[in-house]
Amino acid sequence: MTQEPLTLYKLIVLYMLDRVAFPLTKAQVGGFILDKEYTNFLTLQQAIADLIDTGLVDARSIRNRTHLVITPEGQETLRYFENRISDAIKEEINQFFRENELELRNEVSILADYYKSTSGEFEAELSAKDKGINLVSVRLSVPTEEMAAAVCDNWQKKNQEIYQYLTQKLF
């Protein structure tokens, strides 16, 4: 593969990450790029891995999801090379965010993960964030991994009603 197309895919990823004030998951970035048929899955994974390896993007794994955030170095690189992205691609990205920003933000703002504690039980860590502000954090100890996974799954589905219940009872 020539370097030029790979460079363009990296710039598209940087452009996407620069346009939002929250992390995007690899799946969210990939969903857009693959739906538009800019490239294939393996090439996209290589582009993202290169961005992470060079420090232009930070990656954080949270329960089977990799959250991506552009670094200051990534922003500087994008500013320098942004003119290599066509106006048509930029408009498609901007349109994608206009239509999907709330859904994308909600998907990465609700975090749930679990781990085995030193006591042998499992701890589920649940949180909801908005614009980088932690709205609620909950840590629950449960006896089995299956229960911890179920707690995390239910948090993803029911976090709004749980948050609403807590605020009604506590305020």
Domains of the chain plus CATH, in order, are: 3-108 (1.10.10.10), 109-170 (3.30.160)
pLDDT digits (tens, 9 = 90+) for 33-64: 999 999 999 999 999 999 999 999 999 887 67
Beta-carbon contacts of residue 78 (< 8 Å; ≥ 6 apart):
11, 14, 15, 18, 70
Residue with tokens 């799946």: 27
C-alpha count within 13 angstroms, C-beta hemisphere, residue 40: 3
Question: Which tokens sit at 118?
Answer: 């030193």
The predicted structure's pLDDT at residue 134: 83
Is 24 in contact with 108 (CB distance < 8 Å)? yes
Contact call for residues 120 and 137 (beta carbons, < 8 A): no
Residues of the chain below pLDDT 70: 1-3, 63, 131-132
pTM exceeds cut of 0.85: no
